[in-house]
Structure 1
Amino acid sequence: MVATAQAAPVAPGRLGEAIPAEALLTYQSHLATWLTERRAELGRLDTAAQRAANAQTFTGDVVLAMSMWQSVSTGTEQLRQLWDSGRADAVARERMSRVIWGRLDGAQVPGVGADPSTQVSLVEATRLCDALISQLRVRLSFDPNQADTVARLRTVRASLVRSGDMLRRENLGPAADGSGGPAAVDALVTRLDRVTADAARGADVSGPLAELESASARAERDSIVAAARRHEHDRDASRATSLLERLAARSDVLAELAARCRREVLHPPILAVPDVSRLGEVPQDREALAAYLTRLELVARAMDAVEDAYSTPLRTRASLRFRLTSATDRARRNGRSASATVVAAQRETGDAVETTPCDVALAADLVDLYESLTQELPHRRRASGATKGSS
């Protein structure tokens, strides 16, 4: 088999940030090269697997590797559309970070079950695909009936060591169904020791060794998926903690805004400021954490609605003050300020705008009326036009 020409590209930025355009362009270029090279190698591996004497033992990993490649290809197409030939703004580049670092959409993989691509990011999918290709490349380099047994045993032991080290480094235990984990890898190591001892005695170990090769490949694949899920969980927990802190700080600001609106505005909105502390601490369970993040996002949207409701009357009042001042200045310039009607309207409108609490609806009506009263009279506009024409 031909060695992989380029390692999985290093992804820029992180989840939720607008990644710089230059970094995104470079990443997409490397990703395109990676996809082309991996697709060609997967084709060669698939052909070799179909010709192998025990082809069925390779089917699951070949299909899974192709599924991961397809998920990366789909994610790459989403990046291309968001990139829009370099016209992506900050919002689009933030969405691209979610495509790169967020979970991919996957499906069921025949012979494997739930596709791990539903649990990993685009970055982790490229690494998992590379790991699967590497395993297939090693396994398909040997003919089970003719390969050197010692070399095959060494390959299996190296795979199990990698799996065990990863599980212990990430402090990962068994899956929810009790499978996997360091204990399962240790059990495979014990089986490998027995097969090694039998091979040293000259026994035919081709059958047990083939089973161990398949089991070690699954163990390494599962350890990669488990580590990816742990990283995803850690990112979600960190995001939830950060969002919880921001919402708690924002809650205090909104409470002050609501209190000010109730003091300064007559008939203020009747909305409660969401109390984020009622959600409790960030949970550790995967499903509970996902539900917790959903609730945090709902609270954030509720806070947006509260902020808009309480700030709108205050902004309107500030705008009415500005319009009143502008109309008063216009009245001085065109001589309307000498009118008793305008003077009375200015006094009444000023009282309505400055009174606390302010009846914003009444003040708006009075400002509209005052602005019409301060307009230059029609006969003066005609006289002014005639003067300009004669000159």
Structure 2
Amino acid sequence: MTRTTAPEAPGRLGEAIPAADLLAYLAALETWLDERRTELDRLDAAAQAAATPDVYTADLVLALSLWQAIRTRADEIRPVWDSGRADAVAREKISQLVWGRLDSGSGAALVSLVEAVKLCDALVVQLRTRLSFDPHTADQVARLRGVRAELVRCEDLAGSDADARGRVETLRGRLDHLVAQAARGADVSGPLAELETEVARAERDLIVASAQRRELRRDRARTEEQRAALEAREPALRELVARCRREIAHPPRLAVPDVSRLGPVPDSRFELDAYAARLATVARAVETVEDAYTRPLRARAELRYSLERLAAKAESNGRSASPTVRSGHAEARDAVEAVPCDVTLARFLVEQYQFLTRDLPTPEGASS
């Protein structure tokens, strides 16, 4: 029977995944979930029947926890997918559910759905390999070959991380020592079992660490984009502040935030989180400053428009013929057009002019 492999996830975070790709992926994911659950149940039964079942408990619990986290996320995707009726917004949300972190304990919250599937598969392969070998009857050559293959995967996961590569090299040295001992005819079943466990743990840790590094790179790139966007807004904001201070009497007294004072975006997770929090504070300050300096300019523009509308009304109802009304219009116009403009005074004079331009009551008894 052919073993179902982990399905390849389509799209990427934050983009609407094509419906056809989603349909194929979700179908493959359901098949994978069903098969892995059956396989995990068999492995659990085999572990219980083993001579030392406690040796397998930690990996089995983690594998089952990962499977459950994947199952839960798949159940969250189903109503959003809505049997294929998901629109672009819903499909973008599905991409966040597929590529975003899982909401689960036992380490699953550190990885995405895609990474959890791969990690679960790695654990299942390791458990199947370990449970298929009884220390008294195992083929040591095959077991050593399996450990060597795991170490190759660990090297790929370690990448340029010096500490991780050092850990892998240490494990490889122990493997080489066991190979040499086995070649001399020594019984290495005990040390080999320990090495298998440690290599499996190392691979699991490296998968999680790799996911964390990707998450860190993604968060850092997003933070850099946010910083660049704020820096790009700064010249226009300074121009707005200068205009407001030039054209408005009694302008706000708020300083323009200087994004450069935050320094460069850091590389470590702890420092990046703190930096992102400070950047969010700066972003809110930018919004506050922009709103504070835009408000009086907008109010002046609205007063100018209201004055023009009232002047047109005065022309239509004949009130513009009154010297008092004309004087009120001139006074309000001068206040609105003054530089700097006292918005409070201008608003009062425009409201006064509005009162002057009201329609006069029709004399009693006049024909309508």
Contact 2:46 2:131 in 1 (8 A): yes
Distance 1:124 1:380 in 2: 84
Deviation at 1:304, TM superposition (A): 1.1
Q: Deviations over 1:161-207 (max 9, x none)?
A: 1112321xx20122xxxxxx222222222222232233334433321
Q: Which residue of 1 aligns with 2:235?
A: 252
Distance 2:317 2:112 in 1: 68
Aligned match for 1:172, one of 161, 173, 176 = 161
Distance 1:312 1:24 in 2: 48
* Residue 48 to residue 282, structure 1, CA distance change in 2 (3 Å): same
Q: Which residue of 2 aligns with 1:121?
A: 112
Matches within 5 A, 1:147-226: 147-167=138-158, 170-174=159-163, 181-226=164-209
Contact 2:6 2:117 in 1 (8 A): no
Matches within 5 A, 1:2-41: 5=4, 7-14=6-13, 17=14, 19=16, 22=19, 26=23, 29=26, 33=30, 34-41=32-39
Contact 2:7 2:25 in 1 (8 A): no
Deviation at 1:217, TM superposition (A): 0.8
**Counterpart amino acid of 2:4?**
A
Q: Deviations over 1:28-59 (max 9, x none)?
A: 84586255554444333333333332322222
Q: Which residue of 2 aligns with 1:51?
A: 49
**Bigger Cα displacement from structure 2, 281-290 vs 98-107:** 98-107
**Bigger Cα displacement from structure 2, 282-291 vs 265-274:** 282-291
**Counterpart amino acid of 2:354?**
E
Deviation at 1:225, TM superposition (A): 1.7
Alignment RMSD (CA, Å): 3.3
Matches within 5 A, 1:1-391: 5=4, 7-14=6-13, 17=14, 19=16, 22=19, 26=23, 29=26, 33=30, 34-73=32-71, 75=73, 100-107=98-105, 109=106, 115=107, 117-167=108-158, 170-174=159-163, 181-379=164-362, 387=368
Contact 1:349 1:370 in 2 (8 A): yes
Q: Which residue of 2 aligns with 1:112?
A: none
Q: Is there any run of 5+ residues in structure 1 with no aligned partner, and where?
A: 110-114, 175-180
Contact 2:10 2:22 in 1 (8 A): no
* Residue 163 to residue 261, structure 1, CA distance change in 2 (3 Å): same
Contact 2:99 2:112 in 1 (8 A): yes
Q: Deviations over 1:208-264 (max 9, x none)?
A: 221121111112112212222221222222222222222222222211111111111
* Residue 122 to residue 184, structure 1, CA distance change in 2 (3 Å): same
Residue correspondences, number: 366
**Bigger Cα displacement from structure 2, 261-270 vs 141-150:** 141-150
Contact 2:249 2:340 in 1 (8 A): yes
Distance 2:37 2:354 in 1: 71
* Residue 3 to residue 341, structure 1, CA distance change in 2 (3 Å): farther
**Counterpart amino acid of 1:324?**
L
**Bigger Cα displacement from structure 2, 281-290 vs 212-221:** 281-290
* Residue 342 to residue 8, structure 1, CA distance change in 2 (3 Å): farther
Q: Is there any run of 5+ residues in structure 2 with no aligned partner, and where?
A: none
Which secondary structure does the structure 2 equivalent of 1:379 belong to? coil
Deviation at 1:18, TM superposition (A): 5.8
**Bigger Cα displacement from structure 2, 275-284 vs 191-200:** 191-200
* Residue 270 to residue 22, structure 1, CA distance change in 2 (3 Å): farther
Which secondary structure does the structure 2 equivalent of 1:171 belong to? coil
Contact 2:248 2:343 in 1 (8 A): yes
Contact 1:273 1:306 in 2 (8 A): yes
TM-score norm. by structure 1 comes to 0.80
* Residue 27 to residue 100, structure 1, CA distance change in 2 (3 Å): farther
Contact 1:82 1:88 in 2 (8 A): no
Give the share of equivalent positions with the same residue, in percent: 51
Distance 1:5 1:382 in 2: 96
TM-score norm. by structure 2 comes to 0.85
* Residue 204 to residue 370, structure 1, CA distance change in 2 (3 Å): same
* Residue 130 to residue 161, structure 1, CA distance change in 2 (3 Å): same
Distance 1:346 1:228 in 2: 69
Which secondary structure does the structure 1 equivalent of 2:12 belong to? coil
Deviation at 1:127, TM superposition (A): 2.7
Deviation at 1:299, TM superposition (A): 0.9
* Residue 47 to residue 309, structure 1, CA distance change in 2 (3 Å): farther
Distance 2:24 2:242 in 1: 49
* Residue 70 to residue 262, structure 1, CA distance change in 2 (3 Å): farther
Distance 1:305 1:381 in 2: 55
